Amino acid sequence: MLELFNQIQEACTTIRSKWDKVPHAGIVLGTGLGGFSGEIDIEAEFDYEEIPHFLKSTATSHRGRLICGELCGIPVMAMEGRHHMYEGYPLKQITLPIRVFKEMGASLLIGSNAVGGLNPFYQCGDIMVIDDHINLMGDNPLIGINDDRLGPRFPDMSAPYDQKLGDYALEIARKENFAAHKGVFVGIAGPNLETRAEYRFLRQIGSDAVGMSTIPEVIVAVHSGLRTIALSVITDMCFPDALKPACVEEIIAIANEAEPKLRVIVKGILKHDAENVS
């Protein structure tokens, strides 16, 4: 981890050469949710390859662009597409943008992803506010010599997700009359989807939804001192006794259809948090 500090500084220097504002939040836009960037008043943008030490995005529907600008009049930075463990990248580099958010001055991380639903009370298109997570990815971005400039050796994970913001997200959904739940997210490495036996196991250990991202980002956010809220779009149902072959195109289409719900929650959370922090 000792090499990360200088990498963060170099990335921030490049970004500040075109955008010198202090972001209130960093936003990660996951599968099928890249269109959300249209809500942002863009003041600077970078393909990931333009930023030192950022990785090239290879995942389907992930454009691979960092956007800097204003959302609801509030300075933000947004990743239009993320990186995944299954792309073959080390978690320390996958999560570097989260550390860049922090170094640029952000106090909040807003994450999003597309997930498979394990809870029988969920339906495709529903939103899940992540209340807690289970890391079954087999790796951790904090493994190695700790750099105390970036965070503590043993960060506490008793409450990685901001509970008050999570409750407020559910309140927004109720007011807008669409389904949203609080649930437990389990992260696996991918890229293959799970077997029937694995889905059964994941449900039995307390998971409500499963995906291939987000957890490394949240671990680094906690390590860095960023408050975090993460939102999942349920894009397919993973019931082991009624399992259908997954279709990536359908998953992306459902994520796109649910995007307006995500927009409402993210904008509401951002305005609420900025008003209360200031």
**Rounded-to-integer distance, Cα 37 and Cα 78, Å:** 8
Q: What is the mean pLDDT of the chain?
A: 93
Residue 148: CB atoms within 10 A of its CB come to 7
pLDDT of residue 175: 97
**Tens-digit pLDDT profile for residues 185-233:** 999 999 999 999 999 999 999 999 999 999 999 999 999 999 999 999 9
Q: In the chain, what are the domains?
A: 4-277 (3.40.50.1580)
11, 101, 185 from 16: Cα distances, Å = 9, 12, 34
**Tens-digit pLDDT profile for residues 87-98:** 999 999 999 999
**Rounded-to-integer distance, Cα 77 and Cα 8, Å:** 15
**Tens-digit pLDDT profile for residues 6-60:** 999 999 999 999 999 999 999 999 876 667 788 899 999 999 999 999 998 766 5
Q: What is the DSSP letter of 137?
A: S
Q: What is the DSSP letter of 46?
A: E
Tokens of 275: 């008003």
Residue 93: CB atoms within 10 A of its CB come to 15
pLDDT of residue 185: 98
SS3 per-residue string spanning 179-219: CEEEEEEEEECCCCCCCHHHHHHHHHCCCCEEECCCHHHHH
**Rounded-to-integer distance, Cα 270 and Cα 250, Å:** 29
CB 94 within 8 A of CB 137: no
Pairing of strands 65-71, 180-188: unpaired
pLDDT of residue 245: 87
Question: Half-sphere exposure (CA, 13 Å, Cβ side) for 66?
Answer: 26
Tokens of 48: 């990931």
The position carrying tokens 């043993």 is 154
Cis check: omega of the bond before 191, within 30 degrees of 0: yes
Dump strand ranges (E) for 48-194. 65-71, 74-80, 108-117, 127-136, 180-188
Pairing of strands 127-136, 227-237: antiparallel
| pTM, entire model | 0.95
Range name among 44-53, 62-71, 114-123 with the lowest pLDDT average: 62-71
| Total length of the chain | 278
Pairing of strands 65-71, 74-80: antiparallel
Whether 137 has a pLDDT exceeding 60, the answer reads yes
CB 78 within 8 A of CB 40: yes
